[in-house]
Amino acid sequence: MKNLPEFRHILFGTPIGYFGMGIGIIAIGAAVRKYYWIPAMKRQKQETFEHANFLYEQMKLNNEDMSSET
């Protein structure tokens, strides 16, 4: 037990450590993408769609106002 290397030497000093860190970084990126980025993009898309509908309704009302004035 005494002559085992410390954890940080395994993590930062061996190819297996670098491989493990790479997998960890990829896993963190995948989790962020799945649970934060994709839902945020869906919310943004929905808000944009609702805003576009609002602008379209305003444009129709504005056109009706213009046509009733003539």
- Residues 12-64 pLDDT 10s: 677 877 888 889 999 999 999 888 888 888 888 888 988 999 999 998 888 87
pLDDT at res. 11: 67
- Give CA separation, 11 vs 6, 14, 28, in Å: 9, 7, 17
Question: Global pTM?
Answer: 0.47
- The pLDDT-based confidence of 6 (bands split at 50, 70, 90) is confident
pLDDT at res. 30: 92
Contact 20, 11 (CB under 8 A): yes
> Can you tell me the distance from the alpha carbon of 12 to that of 25, in angstroms, rounded to the nearest whole number?
14
- Check pLDDT > 60 for residue 70: no
